[in-house]
Structure 1
Amino acid sequence: MHIIKLNAIDSTNSYLKKLSAQEALDDFTIVMTEAQLEGRGQMGSVWTSKSSKNLTFSVYKKFSGLEFQHVFYISIATSLALVKTLQFFSIPKLAIKWPNDILAENKKICGILIENIMRNQTVSNSIIGMGLNVNQTEFENLPKASSLKLITGDVYNIDELAILIVNNLKIYFNKLNEGQFEDLKLQYEDLLFRKNKPSTFKDAEGLMFSGIIKGVSNYGNLQVLLEDDIIKEFSLKEITLIY
């Protein structure tokens, strides 16, 4: 794998996206940085990380004809690869908060941002950005954030974590290339945070309601059982889980 290491950058996703537009990149090219100055999350949120304490990197992934209807499986494969890596280190109580936040002991330890380049209704390549809280121990004004060190007390080698994650990405993307959609989706749903538990949600208008997470659709919408025994699907912009 080709690894590009930078001392500081605004966003590893933005850097890798520009680089891929300028030259042909090898599959699984990685951009890592010690300090990400303008890290981005889902729906324009900001991801903050202390310099040299965490793993902030992006991976370039090429595809050959992955259909648009299966684009969410990129998120599924990435989430499963991260969980598999963290299981290797015996991180307890792992879960995936839809669509792709990784939790441990009900606290967020990793965020994922995926940017896809489409051609003719298929995905040609993706920029997969990941921010994993590793050795940082203070998260000011972020009560739902944690790190591997806070959870276990151990100090982790960031480069080793990155290599293990990419090796697991290769395993799960091979499954995706082989068309193992049902198996990947079942594994993902087994790890869904709050699945089959009564939960509180907020809709786009700010109204609160109760429901039970049952799974996700093939397009990645969250399937929620409502009080009238109807399962309704919600996109990312339509619903927020309150926990």
Structure 2
Amino acid sequence: MRIIKLDAIDSTNNYLRELSALESLLDYTVVVAEKQTQGRGQMGAVWDSEPSKNLTFSVFKNISGLNLEASYSISMITALAILKSLQDLAIPKLSIKWPNDILSEDKKICGILIENVIKEASLNASILGVGLNVNQRVFKNLPRASSLKLLSGKNYILDEVLISIVENLKQYFHIYETGNFDVLKEAYVANLFRINKPSTFKDQSGLMFSGFISGISNTGNLQVLIEDNITKEFDLKEITLMY
């Protein structure tokens, strides 16, 4: 496993993407930074992390041959790998908030940003960006943020947590590559935040409505059971779960 350690960088995803354009990278090449100056989350959100307290890293994975419609599998695999590592650390009440935030109860402890490299209309590689709150104790103006330290009272060795996540990534990609997509999807849905519970959502126009998260489609859309026993599908830009 090749691990590139940086003191500071704008974004580990950007660094790894640029590196992959310059040289042929082995699967699971990792770039980890003590500090990210422009860390990013889903939908352009900023990922703010205290230097040297948390894990901000990106992992390279060759996914050539995978069709574009299957790209959501990469996000699902990454979320499951991180969830498994945190379960092994006995972090309580874990779930995956669609599409791939990791929560403990209703507190966010990890964000994931997947960026795919596409060549000739096919997926070529994937950059798996992860921001995991580990030893940070104070989150200013972020009432829904937490960390492994706050949840367990323990300090963690960052390298050990990192290696655990990468090893679990290897295991879950192996499950996928041997044709067991349904096994992964079942595990993912079983761990979804608020699965089969009455929830409130907001659509693109700001309209609030109620429903039950019932699952995900094979392309990663959220399936919500609404009134009159109708199930509708939504992509990331169409719906926000209010909690």
For Structure 1 versus Structure 2, the TM-score category normalised by the shorter chain is: over 0.9
- For residues 124-159 of structure 1, the C-alpha deviation after alignment (integer angstroms, 9 at most, x for no partner) is 110000000000010111111000000000000001
Residue-by-residue CA offset, 1:41-73 (whole Å, 9 max, x unaligned): 001110000000000000000123112221101
Give 1:203's aligned amino acid: D
Corresponding residue of 2:202: 202
| Aligned mates of 2:218, 2:26 — CA distance in 1 | 29
Matched letter for residue 175 of structure 1: I
Shift in Å, 1:120: 3.9
Using the TM superposition, give the Cα deviation of residue 25 of structure 1 relative to its aligned residue in structure 2, in angstroms: 0.9
Letter in 1 for 2:115: E
- 1:32-43 mapped onto 2 (5 Å cutoff): 32-43=32-43
Residues 1:129 and 2:129 aligned together: yes
Q: Distance in 1 between matches of 2:92 and 2:42?
A: 25
What do the CA deviations read for 1:140-197 (whole angstroms, capped 9, x no partner)? Answer: 1111100000000000000100000000000001111112111110000000000000
- State the distance in 1 between where 2:212 and 2:105 align: 20
Shift of 1:228: 2.0
Give the C-alpha shift of residue 121 in structure 1.
3.9
- Which amino acid in the other structure matches residue 113 of structure 2? L
Deviation at 1:106, TM superposition (A): 1.6
Q: Cα RMSD between the aligned structures?
A: 0.8
Give the distance between the partners of 2:120 and 2:65, measured in 1 at CA: 9
Determine helix, strand or coil for the equivalent of 1:228: helix
Q: Distance in 1 between matches of 2:145 and 2:82?
A: 17
**TM-score of the superposition, structure 2-length normalised?**
0.98
Mapping of 1:147-166 within 5 angstroms? 147-166=147-166
Counterpart of 2:138?
Answer: 138
TM-score, normalised relative to structure 1: 0.98
Q: Secondary structure at the match of 2:20?
A: helix
1:105 is matched with: 105
- Cα drift, residue 26 of structure 1: 1.1
| CA deviation map 1:192-219 (0-9, x unaligned) | 0000000000001111110100000000
* Runs of 4+ with deviation above 4 angstroms: none
Q: State the secondary structure of the residue aligned to 1:159.
A: helix
Partner of 2:31: 31
- The answer to whether 1:77 aligns with 2:51 is no
**Range moving further from structure 2, 111-120 or 53-62:** 111-120
Give the SS at the match of 2:229.
coil
Task: Answer yes or no: is 1:52 the counterpart of 2:52.
Answer: yes
Residue 225 of structure 1 aligns with an amino acid whose one-letter code is L
Identity %: 62
Identify the range of structure 1 (41-50 vs 58-67) with the bigger mean alpha-carbon deviation.
Answer: 58-67
Whole-Å Cα distance in 2 between the matches of residues 180 and 94 of structure 1? 23
Shift of 1:227: 1.4
Structure 2 unpaired stretches of 5+ = none
Q: Secondary structure in 1 aligned to 2:138?
A: coil
Map 1:184-203 → 2, pairs under 5 A:
184-203=184-203
> What letter is aligned with 1:130?
V
Q: Which residue of 2 aligns with 1:87?
A: 87
Letter in 1 for 2:221: N
TM-superposed CA distance for 1:13, in Å, is 0.3
Give the length in aligned residue pairs.
243
Show the counterpart of 1:169: 169
Letter of the 1:166 counterpart = V
Structure 1 gaps of 5+ residues are none
> Per the alignment, in what secondary structure is the counterpart of residue 78 of structure 1?
helix
